[in-house]
Structure formats: structure tokens, C-alpha cells
Structure 1
Amino acid sequence: MSRIYAISDLHVDHPENLKWADELPFTRYQDDVLLLAGDVTDSLPLLKSTLVGLKKKFKEVFFVPGNHELWVRDKGSKESSITKFHRIIEMCKKSGIHTAPKKINSSDGAVWIVPLFSWYTTPEEDRRDSLYVPGSYEDVKLTKTLWMDNHMCKWPTNIGKSRSRYFAEQNKERVERSYDAPVITFSHFVPRMELIRASSEDDQKVKKERQHLGLPCCVPKRQGSAKGFNFTRYAGCNTLEEQIRDVGAEVHVYGHQHRNRDRIIQGVRYVSHCLGYTKERQEGLTYGITQWGGPKQVWPNTFDNNEFDHIPVPI
């Protein structure tokens, strides 16, 4: 019977992250399921080889694309980010990687895994759907310039709606159907505004992670790559949260923000377990990576405010 693990934001374009993924053990997870919540790479060959490599280590692998997957580097290409998205889904299907709902027999009984495609909404696109929080610190021009999606994604002119609404429509059938077992959903983007900022519990976990790494316990800067950058402009959307509730999920896994979370809000457990970039791991910001030694178990339920209670035994 399977345990269900989660991770996101592998960013294997960085050699140290690719090495980390390649060195995950072959023996520890052979009966288990992995939920991979986006941002592996924008290179389709590298994405395929990474997913297939993980499939050799896990019984089943589920995946949803993140924003990096939809980058189109070739400025002369006629491919849009949306056509690339559909090409990724087809590639996953041919490679045995799940992007559609599937019932899993876990060690705690049957459970449905329901992937949710998503995108963020900026306040200019749809203020009501956006998770944007304005701040006097924000330099809007700088924020838009620094955000690489604004340079690397290519959107068709005839999309006819916000990007978050477009991707939400891709979930229509899976959201409207009924499920006969507990449901775990997962997405790349953030579903709720409350999850963006760190809680006091999150800060305590970062302090413990830093202590574990031999660093001073003080919490470093939490958000943004430069003064004036406002991540909330690109964090997620409210539509995603509506779909999580429509499905009746007990657990929702997500990524994108490179800050880890494990929090229960109105009966749903939200888990972000990002690998992130080397510097973030070295500073302890992606807490839990060291303790779990890889992906984090989310089912059977492992929720506890003490992350260090769940260190797996290496095999």
C-alpha cells in the first residue's frame, strides 16, 4: 500500500538541483506516490527525462506544470505558452505520468489524487480573482521588470479571458464530478492569500532548520529578490481555492512561492514543500527539506507543528 509524498519547484536547470533529484534513492519510495507540483524546467527534453527518472523511483508520479514549464525561449517560435502546456500534458500521458484524477490504494485506504491546473491573476487582469496585496513598499515597474514570465511566456491574443480563468476551465470535468473516497488536490500556484506570508509557526520552523544547518536562528528576509518587489502580484488566484472547496479536498499541495507551509485552514490542510534554489535551502527558508531528505509525506496525514517529528529513516 502506498504512502503519498509531495514536492515542487525542483528547478533542475540548476546542476545542484538536478544532482539532488538524481540522487533520490531507488529503494525508499518503490511502493509510493509522488505529487510534483510544477516548476521542474522549461526544457521539454529535461522535463521528460526528470519525470521518467522519478517514475523509476516511485510507483506513480503525478504532475502539473508551473510557470517555468510554459516559458518559450525561442522568440521566433510560433508556439504559445498554451500550446506548450497542452504538449506537456500529451508528453506526460505518453510517458506514464499522471495529469488527470486517479484513485490510489494508500496505506490508509483509498484516496483520489486530483491535479488542478492553474495560473495567477494580476490585479490588472482580474482584481477580484487576484491574491494581490498592495503595499507602499512596492515598485510596480521594478516588479513587472523582474518577473521573468513577463519576458518568457507567450500568450495568444484570442484567449478571451484571464489566464487564471482559462486554466480553471481545464479543470471543469474533474471539479464537477463526485469522488467516492477522500480527495487530495494539488496545483502549482498559491490558492489563498493567507498562505503567502509566514506565520509565527513557519518562522519557528525556519529557525529550527537554520539551527539544524548550524546557522544563527534569526529569520532572514522572507520575500522578494529586490527592494520594492511584490510577489503577491504573481502568487495565485481565488478561483483555485473555489475549485479546491468544490472538489471537497482534505489536503491541497502547492508550490511556487519557495517558502514551505503546512497549515490547516477551514478544514483543509495546505502543504507547500519546495526544493527551491540552493541559496534558499542554505538559509533554511525551504524548511523540511533537510529533515525529510526529499519529498514530504502528506498521506497518511502527517500534520504536526513539529516538523522534526517526521524525519524518515534512510533505507
Structure 2
Amino acid sequence: MRVLAVSDIHIDHPENLGWLQGLSRVDHRDDVLVLAGDVASALPLLAHGLELLAERFRTVLFVPGNHDLWVGADDGDGDSFAKFRAVEHVARESGASMRAWRQGGLRIVPLLGWYDFSFGEPDARLRLSWMDFRACRWPEGLGAWDVTSAFLRLNAPLQPLADATTLTFSHFLPRIDLIPERIPATYRFLDPVLGSRRMDEQIRALGGSLHVYGHSHVNQRIERDGVTYVNNAFGYPRERRIARKDLLCVYET
């Protein structure tokens, strides 16, 4: 059995949807897929993507990303928490799972999250350009810290297991030093919306040894303080130089 990982497949783009549709229906029957968010902003398309993956993989484990919680005209007056609940329903009906999974000595735990500005305060440029500030709707009076707290609470209880290897995954970054130094300073204004350091506390509370994340579209495998962090974002069609455009095996028995 292999555990394969990918994130940010953005099947709103026909080229990305074509890649998904072209995945083998035979090669992955014994594989587990870790899908770390940002599949599609429209619920019907998200459902279609998850159904296609569930037909190809033994198990599909999923956490939503920020794009998956965008609220469009078809979502009525609901906010992004309502969209999250709808995503939960769609995932379940499509054959994917947003719950912890275990087989033998391996446990895989999805971690919900958001960004809480613990990586920095957003400036005026970010507030004007970051689509989430317009496409996500939260209950009145809730700030980024409150939204992140609400999702992190859904991850509890968090208990380490002495008899299992724990692999965790999230869409958002659990620590800012996962952004490589090679990233130009002109892009670092995005730091505040990348994730939350509180997520890393949850990873370590679970005794996680390997964590898969998405969101940044900066693919890498790196160790920090005894935990290995892996990003394998598929990315937008134009992002050919920084993305593998393929599944990545992160664990094998």
C-alpha cells in the first residue's frame, strides 16, 4: 500500500480537470490518496472531482482549502461555515473522507485550519488583492483568529498513539519557515494568509512525524524540529516550473 499526496489541483481549470480524468483506474486500487485542499470553488465541480478520485483510489482523505470555501451566487445567503458543512456532505456523498483513518500501524489525520495572521499582519496591498477577503463570508464580528480557532477546535481531541506512525495533513501551512529563502521578497507580503503556527502545535500533540500541506504552491520536502513537511501542489496550469504535476508517494508499506 502506498500513500500518495497532492494538493491544489484547481479543477476549475479544464487542463487540470483533464489531468484528473486521465488518472489510471487500475494503478491506484490499493493506494490511499491524501488530498490537501483547493479542489474547486463550486460544489458540483468539487463533488465531481472527489467522485472521480474515489473511483480510482482505495481511500481518498480530504481537507478543504480556502478556494473550496468561497461563497458564490449559487450558495445563497450562507456564509463560509455553511459552505464548509456543505463540503463535508459532498465529500461524504462522493466517497471521500474528512476523518482520521487507520490501518495497522499507520494513522492518517486530517487537520482543518485557516490563517490567523500569526505569520504577520496583512498590509493594504494584501487586503485589496487577496480573493478570500471578498469570496469568503464569515459571521459578523469574527476575525481571522476566531475563524482559525473554530476550525482548530474541530480537530480535537488530539492524542498521540504509541502503537502507530502518525501522518498528518492540512491545506494551510503550520509554520512560516516552510517558505524557502529563495522565494523573492516581492511575494512575502502573502505571509499573513499562509497559515497558523497553532497548527504545528496540533501536529506535535498528535506525535506526527510527517505532515503534508498545500496552499503555497512551493513544492518541497523539508525537516523542521524532527517533523518532515511535504508540499506537492499541482498548481495552476501556468505553474509548470514550480510544480511536479503528478502524485507524490509519501509513505509505503
Question: Which of the five TM-score ranges fits, normalised by the shorter chain?
Answer: over 0.9
Equivalent residue number for residue 171 of structure 1: 155
Task: Give yes or no for the alignment of 1:267 onto 2:226.
Answer: yes
Q: Normalization by structure 1: what TM-score?
A: 0.75
CA contact (8 A) 1:159 1:166 kept: no
Distance 1:269 1:98 in 2: 23
Equivalent residue pairs, number: 252
User: Do structure 1's residue 93 and structure 2's residue 52 form an aligned pair?
Assistant: no
Secondary structure of the residue aligned to 2:12 is coil
1:92 shift after superposition: 1.6
* Alpha carbons 1:6, 1:296 under 8 Å: kept: yes
Query: In structure 2, what is the equivalent of residue 83 of structure 1?
Result: 82
Q: 1:180 aligns with which of 153, 163, 180?
A: 163
Matches for 1:43-122 after TM superposition, within 5 Å: 43-74=42-73, 77-105=76-104, 110-122=105-117
For residue 195 of structure 1, what is the aligned residue in structure 2? Answer: 178
| TM-superposed deviation, 1:143 | 1.6
- Structure 1 residue 159: Cα displacement: 4.6
Deviation at 1:71, TM superposition (A): 0.4
The TM-score normalised by the length of structure 2 is 0.92
Q: Give the aligned partner of residue 250 of structure 2.
A: 298
Residue 131 of structure 1: aligned partner = 119
Pairing 1:246–2:205 present: yes
Contact 1:112-1:179 at 8 Å conserved across structures: no
**Mapped contact 2:112–2:154 kept (Cα < 8 A):** yes
**Superposition misfits of 4+ residues, deviation over 6 angstroms:** none
Report the equivalent of 1:217: none
Question: Which residue of 2 is the match for residue 306 of structure 1?
Answer: none
Superposition RMSD in Å: 2.2
Shift of 1:180: 3.1
* Percentage of pairs with the same residue: 37
Could you tell me whether the CA contact under 8 Å between 1:34 and 1:58 is conserved in 2? Answer: yes
State the Cα distance separating 1:74 from its structure 2 match: 1.7
Unaligned 5+ runs, structure 2: none
- 2:39 alignment partner in structure 1: 40
2:242 aligned with 1:285, yes or no?
A: yes
> Is the 8 Å Cα contact of residues 75 and 83 (structure 2) preserved in structure 1?
no
1:28, CA displacement in angstroms?
1.6
Alignment partner, residue 17 of structure 2: 18
Tell me, yes or no, if the aligned pair for 2:159 and 2:205 is still in contact at 8 Å. Answer: yes
Q: Secondary structure at the match of 2:199?
A: helix
**Match of 2:113, SS?**
coil
Structure 2 distance, partners of 1:229, 1:194, is 12
Q: How far 1:76 moved relative to its partner?
A: 8.1
Letter in 1 for 2:57: F
Q: Is 1:153 aligned to 2:136, yes or no?
A: yes
Cα distance between partner residues in 1 of 2:142 and 2:129:
24
Cα deviation for residue 94 of structure 1 reads: 2.8
The offset of 1:279, in angstroms, is: 1.4
Pick closer, same or farther for the CA change 1:180–1:67 going to 2, 3 Å. Answer: same
Spell out the pairing of 1:300-315 with structure 2 (5 A cutoff).
Answer: 300=252
Name the SS for the 1:41 alignment partner: coil
Q: Do 1:223 and 1:231's aligned partners in 2 also have CA atoms closer than 8 Å?
A: no
Residue 90 of structure 1 deviates from its aligned partner by 2.2
Report the CA distance shift for 1:228/1:179 in structure 2 as closer, same or farther (over 3 A): closer
